[in-house]
Chains A and B, each alone.
Chain A
Amino acid sequence: MAEMRYREALGAALREELRRDERVMLMGEDIGVFGGAFKVTDGLLEEFGERRVRDTPISENTIVGMGVGAAMTGLRPVVELMTINFSLLAFDQIVNHASKIHYMFGGQARVPLVVRMPQGAGHQLGPTHSHCLEAIYLHVPGLLVAAPATPADAKGMLKTAIRDENPVIFIEHESLYGARGEVPDDEDHLVQFGVARIAREGGDVTIVGISRMAVTAERAAATLAADHGVEAEVIDPRTLRPLDLDTILASVRKTNRCVIVEEGWPHGGVGANLAALIGEQAFDDLDAPVQRVTGADVPMPYSKPLEDIAYPHEPQVVAAALATLGHDGAR
């Protein structure tokens, strides 16, 4: 184990997989000479050269589409998009091509492609650079959707993504790049997809946190314990496709209460989907309606005070958890 930042853990995963497998190559805007917009790929061009670490023009749809074609013919490309907001420019290649090719061509071709990109608000980047769009990719069969919240998961899940035979939407978080944590040195440290992480055990209320909101949920749980005597169980699903619904349902059966925290928009969101699944499969176990804490239903504003209230923070999560327990709490 070594203490590492989230961005360093991602860089380590890329470096190890580039060394391990000649078929792995990287493409993206400013990932080489510049070292990556968030410095994840810093030093990789120097170590692996222009053949395997490729700076691209600003052409998101074609970068991803080239990844699709390269993946179909034997490579294992890892494409970096500067933010998930720019992935909308590549939506055609992701949704109409990467996700469908294995199915629509009768299983003849595979698309072992990873599209990495960060998301998230908090840096005053305004309406076109700040959103969390995991729900959009969650919607699409054929894709895997991963959203690690810790440095250890960032490394282990990225390595799993690169070794998987399916297209993986790998969602990082801008606010987590500097987060520190213990990361296994083992080059075969893989985090299995479809297995949730129980970040904190507790018997009073289940809090499911997506992406960075898993971290926010953990902080809220600490406050709930310290200030309210409430023991929350915090679950980070880690991957939304596949989804470890079993672990979430088992927790809900224990606590009989559930709060889902996500940074994205409320309508058609991850929480909406999860609440439906829980309602369908564990209705009789619920003692209170499932609560959702989400980003505000607006384009992300630039101005700091507005941005701050447009995505969830610890107090809203605490309040939602207390609401499931019948406390008025902070609400």
Chain B
Amino acid sequence: MPASTPRALPAPETAREWLETMTLIRRFEERAGESYARAKIGGFLHLSIGEEATIVGSARALRDTDYLISTYRSHGHALVRGTPPEQVMAELFGRVDGVCHGRGGSMHMFDLARRFMGGYGIVGGNLPIAAGIALSSDYGGRDEVTLCQFGDGASNQGTFGESLNLAALWRLPVVFMVTNNQFGMGTALGRHSAVTDLQRKGESLGVPGVRCDGMDVLDTHAVVAEAVERVREERRPLLIEAVTYRFRGHSMADPEQYRTKEEVEAWRRRDPIPAFGERLVAEGELEPGELEAIDAAAIARVDAAVEFADASPFPQPDALFEDTYVLGDSPHGWYSVETTGERAAGASGGRDSVESANDEIPQQLTTALAAGEEGGEPGGGEIGAELPDRAAEQRAAGG
């Protein structure tokens, strides 16, 4: 994708904040990757490195009252909305001070107060939810807009067609934004989508599309801002295709056999962060030394986040059942299945049983943890392929 026609710079303090936030996301993701190699982070870890302009350029087109919703690649989306890096890192570390108290992990960030409506682990799962949030805004007569981001792979899910159709039919204030990073996991765009001009994929559903250069924060911002305000005004959805590239693998254990080093190198030369920084210096909005200062500040902030996350405790076993349900007055008997053994009839009922059920958890948990440590690896398929070789990664990281 050729570089777009240069867009005018915003006010210096705005431009600076965009660069700072993109840099923070980059440094955060790098440290997350390192922490993963050190086994501080488990599960899957999907990094946004290379895609920072799509995150900052789009989110900065929103008002604080607008909603942002994204995918399993969502650390940057929480950060751009203002979730403290400490809470995002603590979530990755599985600690109590994580933004979801360690229950969601990398793929399920969420910050209701900042109207970041979540990372979702199911490809395409967030589109209907985005339409529902927009329905809520519309129903309440509020002029909020929902910005729904998803990947090129999600554009093949049934929810894509269903959600775009419904949003157009009901004139819902939602901007659908496909972050086209060229691959649905390891399957190239041309191998997974019959229509590769993704901005056109909503046309038959009544949703016009537009494209932006996802490697350029200015172009992304300009296109998304125009779309958001148009949707706010006209009360009908739009589709944006942000063309970008992830510099790292799909997740941490991705041998990247589906693309060439040359291709990755070519895209890296368009790295959105130095490109934007150099332009700010060239146009006199930043002194050359300030680039280093911004980078150093981001690194320091991420250092603090790692320190915070590492110091935060793991959840106690008695937190296992918390928030499975909103416990009101009426429900009882939630834990009847857990309250087996010597406990008899009385154990199944009442919220008292929440506490009594929890008495038994430490032992269950210990058993589960022990089983995990013995290396019971899920086998086969995507999961098997994605399982990281921690030892190799630790060696690579010098750990």
Binding site for B on A (CB under 8 A): 25, 51, 54, 56-57, 59, 61-75, 77, 92-93, 96-97, 101-110, 141-142, 144, 160, 164-166, 190, 192-194, 241-246, 249-250, 253, 277, 280-282
| B101, A106: Cβ atoms closer than 8 Å | yes
Contact with A along B118-136 (1 / 0, CB 8 A): 1011100101111111111
Residue of A nearest to B133 (CB): A69
Residues of the A chain whose Cβ atoms lie less than 8 Å from the Cβ of B120: 97
Using known A-B contacts A74-B140, A97-B120, A194-B331, determine if residue A105 contacts B108 with beta carbons closer than 8 Å: yes
> How far, in Å, is B313 (CB) from chain A's closest CB?
15
Residues of the B chain whose Cβ atoms lie less than 8 Å from the Cβ of A104: 100, 103-104, 108, 110
Binding site for A on B (CB under 8 A): 67, 98-104, 108, 110-113, 117-118, 120-122, 125, 127-137, 139-140, 158-159, 162-163, 165-166, 169-170, 322-326, 328, 330-334, 336-337, 340-341, 343-349
Residues of the A chain whose Cβ atoms lie less than 8 Å from the Cβ of B129: 65-66, 68-69, 72, 93, 97
Partner of A70, one of B103, B132, B324: B132
Partner of B117, one of A59, A72, A253: A72
Residues of the B chain whose Cβ atoms lie less than 8 Å from the Cβ of A51: 139
Using known A-B contacts A56-B166, A97-B120, A242-B334, determine if residue A69 contacts B103 with beta carbons closer than 8 Å: no
> How far, in Å, is B235 (CB) from chain A's closest CB?
13
Residue of B nearest to A250 (CB): B345
Using known A-B contacts A70-B139, A97-B129, determine if residue A62 contacts B332 with beta carbons closer than 8 Å: no
Residues of the A chain whose Cβ atoms lie less than 8 Å from the Cβ of B110: 104-106, 108-109
A139 CA / B14 CA spacing, docked (Å): 50
| B159, A244: Cβ atoms closer than 8 Å | no
Residues of the A chain whose Cβ atoms lie less than 8 Å from the Cβ of B169: 57
| A106, B103: Cβ atoms closer than 8 Å | yes
A71 CA / B337 CA spacing, docked (Å): 28
Residues of the A chain whose Cβ atoms lie less than 8 Å from the Cβ of B67: 73
> How far, in Å, is B44 (CB) from chain A's closest CB?
14
Residues of the B chain whose Cβ atoms lie less than 8 Å from the Cβ of A102: 323-326
Tell me which of B129, B324, B337 has the highest count of chain A C-beta atoms within 10 A of its own C-beta. Answer: B129
| B137, A73: Cβ atoms closer than 8 Å | yes
Residues of the A chain whose Cβ atoms lie less than 8 Å from the Cβ of B108: 104-105
Using known A-B contacts A66-B135, A193-B331, A280-B340, determine if residue A243 contacts B348 with beta carbons closer than 8 Å: yes
| B112, A165: Cβ atoms closer than 8 Å | no
| B331, A242: Cβ atoms closer than 8 Å | yes
| A281, B128: Cβ atoms closer than 8 Å | no
Residue of A nearest to B141 (CB): A51
Residues of the A chain whose Cβ atoms lie less than 8 Å from the Cβ of B136: 69-70, 72-75
Residues of the A chain whose Cβ atoms lie less than 8 Å from the Cβ of B100: 104-106, 108
Residues of the A chain whose Cβ atoms lie less than 8 Å from the Cβ of B332: 194, 242, 244
Residues of the B chain whose Cβ atoms lie less than 8 Å from the Cβ of A59: 162, 165-166
> How far, in Å, is B144 (CB) from chain A's closest CB?
9
Residues of the A chain whose Cβ atoms lie less than 8 Å from the Cβ of B127: 62, 65
Using known A-B contacts A73-B137, A93-B128, A281-B345, determine if residue A62 contacts B163 with beta carbons closer than 8 Å: yes
| B122, A97: Cβ atoms closer than 8 Å | yes
| A245, B349: Cβ atoms closer than 8 Å | yes
| B330, A194: Cβ atoms closer than 8 Å | yes
> How far, in Å, is B324 (CB) from chain A's closest CB?
5
Residues of the A chain whose Cβ atoms lie less than 8 Å from the Cβ of B331: 144, 164, 166, 193-194, 242
> How far, in Å, is B82 (CB) from chain A's closest CB?
15
> How far, in Å, is A326 (CB) from chain B's closest CB?
26
Residues of the A chain whose Cβ atoms lie less than 8 Å from the Cβ of B170: 54
> How far, in Å, is A191 (CB) from chain B's closest CB?
9
Given contacts A57-B169, A66-B129, 4 further A-B contacts (CB under 8 A): A59-B162, A166-B326, A194-B330, A244-B332
> How far, in Å, is B270 (CB) from chain A's closest CB?
35
| A96, B323: Cβ atoms closer than 8 Å | no
| B345, A249: Cβ atoms closer than 8 Å | yes
Residue of A nearest to B326 (CB): A165
> How far, in Å, is B33 (CB) from chain A's closest CB?
23
> How far, in Å, is A164 (CB) from chain B's closest CB?
7
A108 CA / B170 CA spacing, docked (Å): 28
Using known A-B contacts A57-B162, A97-B125, A281-B344, determine if residue A66 contacts B333 with beta carbons closer than 8 Å: no
Residue of B nearest to A102 (CB): B323
| A194, B122: Cβ atoms closer than 8 Å | no
> How far, in Å, is A144 (CB) from chain B's closest CB?
7
| A68, B333: Cβ atoms closer than 8 Å | no
A214 CA / B130 CA spacing, docked (Å): 40
| The 4 nearest A-B residue pairs measured at CB | A65-B128, A69-B132, A66-B132, A62-B162
Residue of B nearest to A241 (CB): B334
